[in-house]
Amino acid sequence: MIKKQLLCCSAVLLLVLLSKLYAYRVATNTETSALPHDSLSQGEILQDDIADIRNTPYFASLNFADENLPLGDKQIERKMMRYLKEYSYTKRRSHVLHHKALHALPKVAAILRQHGIPEDFKYIPLVESGLVSGTTSHRGASGYWQFMPGTARAFGLRVDSEVDERQHIEKSTAAAARYIKALYNEFNSWTLVAAAFNIGEGNLRRIIDRQREDNYFRLKLNRETGSYVYKLISVKEIIENPAAHGYRKNHLLAAATNEESQQQNKL
């Protein structure tokens, strides 16, 4: 009889504990879901399904040169999420890129400001060349901004057998600023300017005229140009909000120490 009573009491006690645990978990989940997404770490947001974050303040804030994504289009939103995840620390491990950006981007931004160009364009060299001079594509584009020789000369750079000013960060940035301003005069949209920088103004104009569409996000473009602005926004996000995308100060410190060690070895 006593054993039966003990078993009965144990069962009741177990049920009480389970009910309290369930109530606690429900309350915790309710509190978490009630929090605005911008109060969560970005890493948590980016692991969520697109359906859970597409209407959050964070997602609505994504933009390039103050031109926002057209919200409500699931295809556009999924594409943006794909590139944000692709450029996260867990995928890229690009702490060296952060270290280079720390030193080079203020200089680039200052030159762009002098020409009235939105600072978001400073991320183009990160996407185009990784801020590495001497990088040359198979088509002949070279330097920090990956200028073609003809375009570089047209906007004031010397490119010949002796000198290639595409490899000079200040001079090439000033030329890029002049080119970007000329593109804006034609397209009147900073996202279209970025697309034209990638594909060429003539090519972009023909696409716009043929499709009768002048919103970058809704244009049907080749894979490289169609992902270009998404990449710029993603790079902007990981540089401006590194901790939110998985980067930590110790990563940057390790990159700086590694670079300093490499320079000393070269001496």
pLDDT digits (tens, 9 = 90+) for 2-46: 444 544 555 544 444 444 444 434 333 333 333 233 333 444 445
Alpha-carbon Rg for the chain in angstroms: 25
Task: Give residue 240's pLDDT.
Answer: 84
Residues 141 and 17 in one domain: no
Task: Give residue 201's pLDDT.
Answer: 96
Alpha-carbon torsion, ordered 35, 37, 38, 42, to 10 deg? 130
Res 142 pLDDT > 80:
yes
| Residue 186 or 81, more confident | 186
Residues 64 and 130 in one domain: yes
Phi, psi of 210 (to 5 degrees): -70, -40
Spatial distance between the Cα atoms of 42 and 241, rounded to a whole number of angstroms? 9
Averaged pLDDT score across all residues of the chain: 78
Size of the chain, expressed as the number of residues it contains: 267
Task: Give residue 264's pLDDT.
Answer: 37
Domain containing 123 equals 42-266
- Residues in contact with 70: Cβ distance below 8 Å, sequence separation at least 6, in sequence order: 76, 215, 217, 218
Residues 93 and 159 in one domain: yes
pLDDT digits (tens, 9 = 90+) for 103-125: 889 999 999 999 999 999 999 99
Residues 71 and 133 in one domain: yes
Residues 18 and 102 in one domain: no
Burial 164-185 (b: 16+ CB within 10 A, else e): bbbbbbebbbbbbbbbbeebbe
CA torsion sign for 222, 225, 229, 231 is positive
Residues 15 and 109 in one domain: no
Domains identified in the chain, total number: 2
Residues 74 and 168 in one domain: yes
Residues 23 and 125 in one domain: no
Query: Model pTM?
Result: 0.74
| Residue 64 or 50, more confident | 64
User: Which amino acid, residue 43?
Assistant: G
Residues 29 and 111 in one domain: no
Residues 136 and 23 in one domain: no
Spatial distance between the Cα atoms of 125 and 108, rounded to a whole number of angstroms? 9
Percent of the chain with pLDDT over 70: 66
Residues 147 and 210 in one domain: yes
User: H or E element: which one contains 183?
Assistant: helix 169-187
Residues 230 and 103 in one domain: yes
Q: What CATH number is associated with residue 74?
A: 1.10.530.10
